[in-house]
Amino acid sequence: MSKSRRAEPPALAAGSARPQRENSREALLDATSALMRELDTIEIGIVDIAQRAGVNHAMIRYFFGSKEGLLLALLDRDVYRRIRQLDRLFRMEVTPTERMRIHLRGILDTYYEIPYLNRLIQVMVREADPQRVQHIADELLIPIASAQARIIAEGIAAGEFRDVDPKLFYFNTIGSADGLYSNRFTLSAVFGGIPSADRALHERYREHTVETLMRGLLL
């Protein structure tokens, strides 16, 4: 009796090229990200995601197993791209002060591009199995927090930074970075009908936030 073969998804008939599969997978991730940004919610239906991606919704199960698997893959993709940038940051021959400025600007840019990030993390760890929680902590969050703590330690040793608690500074950073981009209602209702932060506002907020955080860090 021959071994059973994995069924091809509806949108990928037998003989379809491998690049087409990869393109469809990326299209689903891109569609999910775009809808979350545009609608300012992470509660997106799989039919809407598939329609935006231009594929059959059965492809979500084919590639990711479930909507939950899709969200975890999106979280991995979004954060891993930023973590890879940390290696380049530590190869730069700059002072701890300048390294921290670059790092903080990068975090603000991340939340501008991915305003749903904190909400997605909270949903993915809520009532999740311990293995997934550990994966998110070890692979996605700890590297960023550890990098920031390393920069602080370098700055203290160089006589550039005050002796601050890296844990508290990390929460200062994430809270400041997330604040503007995840509060469309406040931005619109309180500050004049702006639906979301545009590039110009983001750049002003980024520099304001970086300078505010650095003032609490520098000697």
pTM for the full model?
0.84
pLDDT(110) > 60:
yes
The token duo for 188 is 């619109």
Percent of the chain with pLDDT over 70: 89
SS3 state of residue 126? coil
pLDDT of residue 193: 62
Measured distance CA(219)–CA(217) in Å, rounded: 7
pLDDT(13) > 60:
no
The token duo for 9 is 């998804």
SS3 state of residue 218? strand
Among candidate residues 89, 60, 101, 84, the one with its CA nearest the CA of residue 210: 101
| Residue 144 CB partners (closer than 8 Å, separation 6+) | 79, 82, 83, 86, 107
pLDDT of residue 20: 62
Residue with structure tokens 């370098």? 154
127 vs 123, residue with greater confidence: 123
SS3 state of residue 161? strand
Among candidate residues 131, 113, 126, the one with its CA nearest the CA of residue 177: 113
Task: Summarize pLDDT for 29-70 with one digit per residue, the tens.
Answer: 999 999 999 998 999 999 999 999 999 999 999 999 999 999
Task: Summarize pLDDT for 144-179 with one digit per residue, the tens.
Answer: 999 999 999 999 999 999 999 999 999 999 999 988
Task: Summarize pLDDT for 16-27 with one digit per residue, the tens.
Answer: 445 566 789 999
Measured distance CA(198)–CA(120) in Å, rounded: 22
Q: 194 with 201: CB under 8 angstroms?
A: yes
pLDDT of residue 6: 42
Reported confidence tier of residue 127, pLDDT bands at 50, 70, 90? confident
Measured distance CA(105)–CA(203) in Å, rounded: 9
Residue 12 DSSP symbol = S
**Mean pLDDT for the chain overall:** 88
